[in-house]
Amino acid sequence: MRHLMNPLDFTTEELDKLFDLANDIEQNPAKYAHACEGKILATCFYEPSTRTRLSFESAMTRLGGRVIGFSDAASSSASKGESVSDTIRIISCYADICAMRHPKEGAPMVAAEKSGIPVINAGDGGHQHPTQTLTDLLTIRSMKGRLDHFTIGLCGDLKFGRTVHSLIDALVRYENIRFIFISPEELRVPDYITEMLRARKIPYEEVIRLEDVMPSLDMLYMTRVQKERFFNEEDYIRLKDFYVLDTAKMALAKEDMLVLHPLPRVNEISVEVDQDPRAAYFKQAQYGVYVRMALILTLLGIQVQ
């Protein structure tokens, strides 16, 4: 039985297969509309996350399956002190597959160890959020036609942003990727990542100003500066507007550059950019459903002819 804990759990060949399946689902949704009939997905969300949970629920519903679950710890047996190990044993009796989000890092792995059904890590604290990374990769591959030979700029909170760290880990497995990290000094990408890039001889730059590097980017991955990551309000207010993408900055970019964002945005991408055909972030949310559909089918071992 297979689980998904980390975006690197799948080889690049396995990811190619997964993404081919996701693209086929995109092209032929009717073919997959009954693929999971009689199957149940349990969404065990120990902390609220509307978008990720709804994306999983949409994915299972579009496959003809059903969804059960809870959307915060207070409405689960965790509030009575039940362990993750016990909860998943029970859930294994009720459902065929489980998507788990938990504020504690490694909780889905504990679940996977005790589970009788496949477990998908739907985000564990600041640790991993593999289905976001798969979404990012599918979006890039679908819209650019490849996952190699490009320059990607990652902008905003690069210190605490787990989506950024996971995306870097996933992209270094492909050929000829160049990274440009755009962040304030306080939110620079952690040392262990730059050490890893140097060790693997993967080119990267760290810059302060977004404008300076716009013309050289094939892709720009924007991130939100999260208020909860800061110890004091003053720092947050000083930094949150540091990197706002607007039409003036977009004018400096290549005609086929893509703008990605894991969403939700606060104000780091001006609403006026939404009209730009290079803005791919809402399309990205759509790909999030396709990739979760492909993942559910793959982990359940369901093949559609």
Partner 1 sequence: MLNVGKIEEGFVLDHIKAGKSLSIYEHLQLDKLDCTVAIIKNARSEKMGKKDILKVECDIDKLDLDVLAFIDHNITVNVIKDGEIVDKKVLVLPKQIKNVIKCHNPRCITSIEQELPHVFVLADEEKGVYRCKYCEEKYHESAKKK
The residues assigned a catalytic role are 51-52, 80, 101, 129
Smallest distance, partner 1 to C-beta of residue 199, A: 10
Q: Characterise 188 by phi-psi region: left (phi > 0), alpha (psi -120 to 50), beta (else).
A: beta
Residues of this chain that interact with partner 1 (CB under 8 A) are 83-85, 102-107, 109-110, 124-127
Tell the residue number behind the tokens 């000094």, with chain if given. Answer: 185
Q: How many CB atoms lie within 10 A of CB 199?
A: 8
Contacts of 278 (CB under 8 A, 6+ apart): 250, 253, 255, 256, 257, 258, 259
Smallest distance, partner 1 to C-beta of residue 266, A: 23
d(CA 153, CA 220): 5
Instruction: State which residue, 97 or 109, has the beta carbon closest to partner 1.
Output: 109
Instruction: State which residue, 63 or 109, has the beta carbon closest to partner 1.
Output: 109
Smallest distance, partner 1 to C-beta of residue 125, A: 5
Instruction: State which residue, 61 or 83, has the beta carbon closest to partner 1.
Output: 83
Instruction: State which residue, 64 or 106, has the beta carbon closest to partner 1.
Output: 106
Q: Whose CA is closest to 162, among 132, 137, 136, 138?
A: 132
Smallest distance, partner 1 to C-beta of residue 101, A: 13
Q: What is the DSSP letter of 200?
A: T
Would you say 29 and 259 are in contact if contact means Cβ atoms under 8 Å apart? no
